[in-house]
Amino acid sequence: MSLDTFNKECDTPNQAIDGAWLSARGLFCERDERILFSNLNFDFFPGDIVRIAGPNGAGKSSLMRILLGLSAGFDGALFWHGQDMNKSLYDFRSQLLYLGHQVGVKGGLTPEENLAWFNPKASQTQIFTALKKVGLAGFEDLLTHGLSAGQQRRVALARLFLCDKPLWILDEPFTAIDKEGVAELEQVVINHAQNGGLVILTTHHELNVPVKTVMLGTQESEMPLC
Amino acid sequence: MSLDTFNKECDTPNQAIDGAWLSARGLFCERDERILFSNLNFDFFPGDIVRIAGPNGAGKSSLMRILLGLSAGFDGALFWHGQDMNKSLYDFRSQLLYLGHQVGVKGGLTPEENLAWFNPKASQTQIFTALKKVGLAGFEDLLTHGLSAGQQRRVALARLFLCDKPLWILDEPFTAIDKEGVAELEQVVINHAQNGGLVILTTHHELNVPVKTVMLGTQESEMPLC
Amino acid sequence: MLMALLKRDLLLAFRARGDLLNPLMFFMIVTSLFPLAVSPDPKLLGVIAAGVIWVGALLATLLSLDLMFKNDYEDGSLEQMLLMPQPVMLMVLVKVLVHWLVAGLPLALIAPLLGLMLGLPNGGFQPLVISLLLATPILSLLGSIGAGLTVGLRKGGMLMPLLILPLYIPVLIFASSSVLAGVQGSSYTGHLAFLGAYLALTLVIAPVATAGALRISLAR
Amino acid sequence: MLMALLKRDLLLAFRARGDLLNPLMFFMIVTSLFPLAVSPDPKLLGVIAAGVIWVGALLATLLSLDLMFKNDYEDGSLEQMLLMPQPVMLMVLVKVLVHWLVAGLPLALIAPLLGLMLGLPNGGFQPLVISLLLATPILSLLGSIGAGLTVGLRKGGMLMPLLILPLYIPVLIFASSSVLAGVQGSSYTGHLAFLGAYLALTLVIAPVATAGALRISLAR
Amino acid sequence: MWTRLKRLYHKMGSPKWFYEITSQWSPWILLVGSALMLTGIVWGLAFAPADYLQGNSFRIIYIHVPASLLSQSAYLFMAVAGLVGLVWKMKMSFVVAKVIAPIGASLAIMSLLTGAIWGKPTWGTWWVWDARLTSMLILLFLYFGVIAIYNAIENDEMANKAAAILSIVGSINIPVIKYSVEWWNTLHQPATITLTKKPTMAPEMFIPLILTILAFYCWFAVWVFARTRNEILFKERKTNWVKKLLNNDKGAQL
Ligand code: HEM
Ligand SMILES: Nc1ncnc2c1ncn2[C@@H]1O[C@H](COP(=O)(O)OP(=O)(O)OP(=O)(O)O)[C@@H](O)[C@H]1O
Ligand SMILES: Nc1ncnc2c1ncn2[C@@H]1O[C@H](COP(=O)(O)OP(=O)(O)OP(=O)(O)O)[C@@H](O)[C@H]1O
Ligand SMILES: [Mg+2]
Ligand SMILES: [Mg+2]
């Protein structure tokens, strides 16, 4: 699906389509007197992989924070499972896994302890398996702040293997990850969608995955380099 | 050139090859009782584009900090223009432009003021041209911390257009930069090398540029994902 | 989840064991500046001891407040916490509890030693310890509001005292005058009752206000 | 390059204009805590005024030290500065100068007002201001060492006072006793001469030590 | 009834309406305030008898007391405005709160200064740690905290909300602070110097005082309105009605 599908006048202006998990109607966001997006409408369904795309400064991160309810500076309506987001906030959050620019990994804890706090219910074996899957076997007991940039992000990515949350929102999850790592992460994302989950992500990497795209800021805010 | 060219026993164990700008002999680095690299020898010449490659945690950033003289935890010898690095430190630094994981951009200053402080000698027109080249025309007067992740890095990258330092050391310069941006940056790097500069960089992106590669940590420290 | 947070924070505090002593050391150094700055005269020191110890405790708590949310903000865990399916208020209460255990309680335990050094008269020791036990939670609670409001600001360090110290004044007054009352041999239950009431008040207000403050700081 | 740094830092300080007042406000609030904690009795206050003001100034400087290198470290500019082809010492001197202008000098200027409020006897005002003018640069200089040593640590906030306060003690003693001498009507040039000598000493030592400390902090 | 209230609420939330209505009111309030002030001052300064103890220095009372009273009420206004903004999401209310902060702080400073000036001849000292004085000083610190928050946070909306939270918490604490300060002072030592008790004042002094207090409230309202209108113009400078307004102004000047 392309930009038009999302941005065109919506048939059901004030309610979500049946069966959609996350829907938006008439989203509008302005920063520093520059309109980032206006009248944005979309419906995301289970099984979708949605890529929010656009050049630097287009408003991708801003849109994600709006979806998450972390940002108040916007107009429009959001729906979760067809219900007004404000009313189903608890349900939304209990189904959500979010990784942002900052991933919430504690330098003063070991990778194992970090995961244990995110998923208090996970057993030690589960945690070890997850860490092994992200290539951190043997690093479980070092403090995280001694790891390299990419390794620290891998600790956070291990959460993708641990949790059973159906909705993933990932802001540039591939930052600092090496090439093989990226390829394997893509596979994880595909698997999740095939199992009926919904993945919303941004990335500047080329993706080898079939995705829906929400394109932001293609007109005025495009910023070519040189 | 591949790993072997660099890592093999060196013909001139205790001095640099004539004409080489930056040379290393027998570099050795250990972290947390894991050997990151040992007996690393190389000579970089003007016109080279050198990529330090390797999976996450291989020691790329560590090697760069050693070259810069910011890290003391290593063995071996470094040469700048054939001279011992410690003796030619002033000359080395006056020829160097370094961009690290943190790029040194001040959130409380505007992009213009940021560049003015890095290059006190640059005129305002030069600064504006550089900002325009990185696609920040129109953002000169906003405070930098209000910009997006990619835009903030672009402010730092504008330094590449401003300065006449021959040696560039860039640690993942493409992080958070969008696709066109990356392509154009690659061109900038090529131009610099063709004009007789030396560029040393790391990146997990696919590069469309002919480079020399220093490969780190391919054996034991490889870390596949999944 | 709250238990997990409590466990995590205590673990982090324990990891940075050395840091645990810092508020305490600060408290001791600051109070021992006064004999040097004012006068070594034991009689004079005895008179000002209660006040000096209390001001020291207040400043020590204040300095340690910076840690309450800052690290979590910087590495993104605060964001994660706000996105968890649970009231932010409760999370704040856990944070305050940890702060009090780490930075408030030790002050109450070490205070008698400082009283001894400054020549606090005998009757003052009991009210000193009791008032510290009652009032340090208030300091942590009110402090959490300031910490929440300033967490997103890079220059939070100096702003917080400005926001919070005026609110600390009732605590300071009642606590230090309870010690004075103890020294003079009069009853100090009235003062302590006031502190208890103020504790109840802040226990109601502070978590709500801090939760709001955190939301605002993260939306910035 | 040094001029550019000076310009940049002053610009940054000016941008955060509101923050400029914070050390000052902290100073005022802390000193006014003492009458509340100790006693409003003007006679007693007059006796302890010099000491209280000096301890307040010391703590205010201490808190503002956090800003000296921390921001630059976090956004990577400190790294950039260390890689510039110029002695790190000189850069440190510029940083200290800015810190003193922003956080030290204002204290000296506001101190008479606080002296008035605490009922400092008349003879004390002149030595109070002179000693503050002479000694606040020492505080900034010595403080830069502590700031440099702790800059890489996430929990620097509470560690710094421990490193630095002991070094501040001679300053505190001589400065506050110069005020006392002034109050008693005796000569205080001796004390001030000592402060001058200490200033010269730290001016030589501190930049070198701080430059070393920064190297170490960044290599970590 | 409910719908009318709701309509009023929407109206008050609209900057344009606020701008227009206050533009209409301000001159009248200013007029009333100035008339009150003039009578009060003339009566108080020229006709009221000199105090038998303090001589003529007591006449500073006509600035001191209104400023003291008003700086306290202003804090309350600010907190209420902040609360309204937070709960009912009324943007105008935030603007009013923001505008009050510096005004309230300057009134507090005025109270402290006039008090100090008054204190020198009557008590022989600029400052004592009396309960009233101390709590006024703390009020000033509370104002400074709120202003510092406005300064520290770049984003307007966030700054407004943060300052609202702080001022609400502050206003809940004001009674506690006041009570504790008063209580503390009587406990430590019997106050050697107390402020003149209220009812003991002669009516010739008292009535002009009431007049000036009322005048101060009027002036305060005008001041707040003027600064709010400035803020509105700046915030809405991109909207049509402001552009039109400014153009009209220009036209009128030409
Ligand atoms: C810096 C010093 C002073 C401060 C901060 C100060 C503050 C105040 C405050 C807060 C009020 C209370 C308004 C109210 O709530 O009713 C007040 C009222 C008053 N003050 Fe002052 N004051 C100061 C000095 C003085 C002095 C030196 C005098 C005269 C001897 C004085 C005479 C009065 C009088 C007569 C009232 C009105 C009493 C009443 O209506 O309750 N004040 N002042
Ligand atoms: N400050 C440190 N203390 C201890 N060990 C460290 C420190 N920094 C890095 N290391 C270790 O050195 C190794 C190499 O780290 P480095 O940052 O050089 O990797 P990198 O190749 O840059 O990886 P990435 O691609 O993830 O950036 C890591 O495995 C890490 O454990
Ligand atoms: N805190 C803020 N205050 C003011 N403006 C902001 C803020 N954050 C972002 N913006 C503005 O919003 C625009 C979009 O920012 P955002 O971070 O959403 O971009 P992005 O699409 O995620 O870009 P990137 O690819 O660089 O991460 C930017 O141009 C920036 O100027
Ligand atoms: Mg982004
Ligand atoms: Mg790296």
Tens of pLDDT, residue by residue over C189-213, are 999 999 999 999 999 999 999 999 9
Q: C199 and D63 in contact (C-beta within 8 Å)?
A: no
Indicate whether E230 belongs to any domain.
yes
Measure the CA–CA gap between B212 and B7, rounded to whole angstroms.
13
Question: Which has the higher per-residue pLDDT, C176 or C156?
Answer: C176
- Provide the 8-state DSSP code for A215: E
Q: Measure the CA–CA gap between D39 and D34, rounded to whole angstroms.
A: 7
pLDDT at A73: 80
Residue A140 vs residue A14, higher pLDDT: A140
Residue A43 covered by a domain: no
Q: Of B172 and E50, which is predicted with more confidence? A: B172
Domain that holds residue E127: 67-192+199-208+223-237
E133 lines ligand 1 (CB under 6 A): yes
User: What share of chain A in percent tops pLDDT 70?
Assistant: 90
**Roughly what angle, to the nearest 10 degrees, separates helices D42-65 and D125-150?**
30
B5, part of any domain: no
* Minimum-distance CB partner of E151 among D18, D28, D45: D18
Radius of gyration of chain E measured on its C-alpha atoms: 21
DSSP 8-state assignment for residue B81: T
A150–B32: do the CB atoms touch at under 8 Å?
A: no
Report whether pLDDT(A222) > 50: no
pLDDT digits (tens, 9 = 90+) for C71-113: 888 888 999 999 988 899 999 999 999 999 988 999 999 999 9
**Which of E:185-244 have CB within 8 Å of A?**
238
Q: Are D45 and D39 in contact (CB under 8 A)?
A: yes
What's the pLDDT score for residue C4?
A: 84
Q: How far is CA D147 from CA C20, C208, D53, D170, D195, in A?
A: 20, 35, 23, 19, 22
E81 membership: H or E segment, kind and range = helix E61-88
Ligand 3 pocket, A32 CB below 6 A?
yes
Give Cβ neighbours of residue E45 (< 8 Å, ≥ 6 apart): E59, E62
The reply to whether E249 touches chain A by the CB within 8 Å rule is no
Residue A162: pLDDT band by 50, 70, 90 thresholds?
A: confident
Is residue B31 within 6 Å of ligand 2 at its C-beta? yes
CA distances from A60 to A7, A192, E6 (A): 15, 22, 37
Query: Within a domain: residue E217?
Result: no
Q: What is the pairing mode between strands A49-53 and A212-215? A: parallel
Which of C111-115, E31-35, E193-197 is least confident? E193-197
- Chain A residues with CB-CB distance to E238 below 8 A: 33
Tell me the HSE value of E2 on the side-chain side, using a 13 A CA sphere: 0
Ligand nearest to the CA of E212: 1
Distance (Å, rounded) from C-alpha C92 to C-alpha C149? 13
- Helix/strand/coil percent split, chain B, to 5: 30, 25, 45
Q: What are the backbone dihedrals phi and psi of residue E124, each rounded to the nearest 5 degrees, phi first? A: 80, 10
Ligand nearest to the CA of A70: 3
> Are the CB atoms for A81 and A46 separated by under 8 Å?
no
Quick check: is B115 in a domain?
A: yes
Q: What is the pLDDT of residue D18?
A: 63
pLDDT at E157 over 50: yes
Question: E71 CA to middle of ligand 1, Å?
Answer: 12
Q: Which residue has the higher pLDDT, A6 or E229?
A: E229
In a domain, A121, yes or no: yes
User: Span A1-6, mean pLDDT?
Assistant: 42
Give residues with Cβ within 8 angstroms of A213, minimum separation 6: A1, A2, A3, A50, A51, A52, A53
Ligand nearest to the CA of B142: 3
Q: pLDDT grade, residue D209 (50/70/90)? A: very high
Q: What is the pLDDT of residues A81-106, one digit of tens each?
A: 989 998 898 999 999 999 988 888 88
Count of domains forming chain B:
1
Chain C interface includes E189 (CB < 8 A) = no
Closest CA to D50 of D122, D101, D109: D122
Q: Is the distance from CB of C136 to CB of C105 less than 8 angstroms? A: yes
Boundaries of domain holding A153 = 103-159
Chain E CB contacts of C167 below 8 Å: 169-170, 173, 177
Higher pLDDT, C142 or C187: C142
Q: What is the C-alpha separation between A165 and A95, in angstroms, rounded?
A: 5
- Report if residue A130 sits inside a domain: yes
| pLDDT for residue E248 | 76
Cα–Cα distance measured from residue B16 to residue A221, given in angstroms and rounded to the nearest whole number: 49
What CA–CA distances, in Å, run from C84 to A119, B69, C6?
11, 44, 15
D3 neighbourhood in chain B, CB within 8 Å = 120
What value does the mean pLDDT take over residues D50-62?
Answer: 92
The overall average pLDDT reported for chain E is: 83
To the nearest whole number, what is the mean pLDDT of chain C?
89
A95 DSSP 8-state letter: T
Between residues D8 and A222, the one the model is more confident about = D8
Domain count, chain E: 1
**Alpha-carbon gap: B43 to the closest alpha carbon of chain A (Å):** 26
Classified as helix, coil or strand, E185 is: helix
pLDDT attached to residue E125? 84
Residue E100 banded pLDDT, cuts 50, 70, 90: very high
Query: Which residue matches tokens 């036990």?
Result: C133
Q: What pLDDT is stored for residue C142 in this prediction? A: 96
Inside any domain, residue A110: yes
In a domain, E54, yes or no: no
Residue E165: predicted pLDDT? 96
Q: Chain B residues with CB inside 8 Å of A192's CB?
A: none
Separation in Å, CA of E155 to nearest CA in chain B: 9
Range of weakest confidence among A208-222, C180-194, D6-20: A208-222
Question: Which portions of chain B are predicted below pLDDT 50?
Answer: 1-5, 7-8, 219-226
Taking 70 as the threshold, does the pLDDT of residue E50 lie above it?
no
Beta pairing partners, A97: A168
The Cα–Cα gap between A87 and A78 comes to 10
CA D159 to CA D155: how far, in whole Å? 7
Longest dimension (CA), chain B: 54
Q: How far is B109 from chain E (nearest CA, A)?
A: 13
The predicted model gives D82-100 an average pLDDT of: 91
The ipTM of this complex is 0.86
| Pairing between β-strand B212-215 and β-strand B49-53 as defined by DSSP bridges | parallel
Tell me if B146 is assigned to some domain.
Answer: yes
